[in-house]
Amino acid sequence: MQAQPYGMGNAAPPAYYPPPGTSVPMQTSPVMMQGMAPPSPVTMDRLLQSEGIMMKQLTNECCRCFFCQPNIHWTLHPYAKDGGDMANQDAGVWVQEDASYCGRCWSCCAPGARATTYRTIDGAPDKNAPTSMRSVMTHEKGSTCGQNVIVMITDNGPLRCPCCCYLPYLRTKDGSGNLLGTTKYLCDMCPFVPKFKVEDTNGQDVYYIRPDVCCLGACMKCKCGGPKGKCCTVPFLIRDPRTLSQIEDAEITDLWAGFTNECCTKRNLYGIKFPSAASAEQRATLVGAALLIDVAIFEQQS
């Protein structure tokens, strides 16, 4: 849809000229304002050309309980270090999840197990949008094992055990259904450290995503001294799949979403910083990686 000029289709206001001897400050001059072009709308294509993306949870999870698990919707915003002022940012792109009720019922027992599709749509959020609405990108998975399954209930609460077979994944596709890349949850000799790999359309490893570790690789290493309410975070660093070293400062980080969102409505906020050399297809797949990290790791912690 073509962007509308100022005035939402109304005739342009007449030019204003001050009386002789009267000065008008440049920053408030109506003549200057009339000549300004309206800001370009935020689209998925524009976000994929930027340094990164902020992924803000739209769904309120304050009423979530054992068998009542809502679909999780998101809005996407331009990247801002440490989250920026998300309260004043309008959403131009949003992500709608389409998962069955039965699959969502057991997400607390087996995080990341449910079959689901995340549809990325340009425009203002509409949680009632039909599934026929055109998506610019999708992230899909079938039913899998959970990442960290409850095996029994003890006096100290649920006992979880990592799974190492048929693990969660997300396939990222464009609006025409063409595969762009795949993110997969990995299992190795240190199953309590979550790690992921990003593959291209040919199944070749492009990125390896894992937090820093300690205790000979057996435990995740927190990053302390973070901003606002998250003094300790676990950034998922985007690494070279061969050397396992972080690529520049690329990472996917769970950020502080504000007191109301964190404590009342239980909404998450993620910052995705892209590697500068990543292609548009790889950046789109990294958005899917952030969604997979949320559904497999953080969704039940919010």
What DSSP assignment string belongs to 54-68?
Answer: EEEE-S--TT-BTTB
Residues near 158 by beta carbon (within 8 Å), at least 6 away in sequence: 150, 152
3-state class (DSSP) for residue 155: coil
Distance CA 101, CA 181 (A): 27
Binned at pLDDT 50, 70 and 90, residue 162 comes out as confident
What single DSSP character describes residue 34? Answer: H
Greater model confidence, 276 or 107: 276
| 162 Cβ neighbours under 8 A, 6+ residues apart | 147, 148, 149, 187, 191, 192
Domain coordinates of the chain in residue numbers? 40-301
Q: Which two tokens stand for residue 301?
A: 């912690």
CA distance 253 to 33: 38
Q: Lowest mean pLDDT of 105-119, 155-169, 276-290, name the range.
A: 155-169
Fold topology of 40-301: Tubby Protein; Chain A (3.20.90)
Written as six digits, the tokens of 4 are 């509308």
pTM of the model: 0.81
261 φ/ψ angles, rounded to the nearest 5 degrees: -70, -40
Tell me the C-alpha distance between 150 and 142, whole Å: 20
B/e letters for 179-213, b = 16+ CB within 10 Å, e = fewer, are bbbbbbbeeeebbebbbbbbbbeeeeebbbbbbee
C-alpha dihedral over 108, 113, 116, 118, to 10 degrees?
Answer: 80
- The rounded mean pLDDT for the chain is 81
Q: What is the pLDDT of residues 78-101, one digit of tens each?
A: 998 776 666 566 778 999 999 999
Per-residue pLDDT of 27-83, as tens digits, reads: 444 434 455 555 667 899 999 999 999 999 988 776 666 667 889 999 999 998 776
Tell me the pLDDT tens digit for each residue of 242-283: 999 999 999 999 886 544 454 545 678 899 999 999 999 999
- Residues 230, 261, 210, 42, CA torsion sign: negative
- Terminus-to-terminus CA distance in the chain, angstroms? 37
Residues near 159 by beta carbon (within 8 Å), at least 6 away in sequence: 150, 151, 152, 153
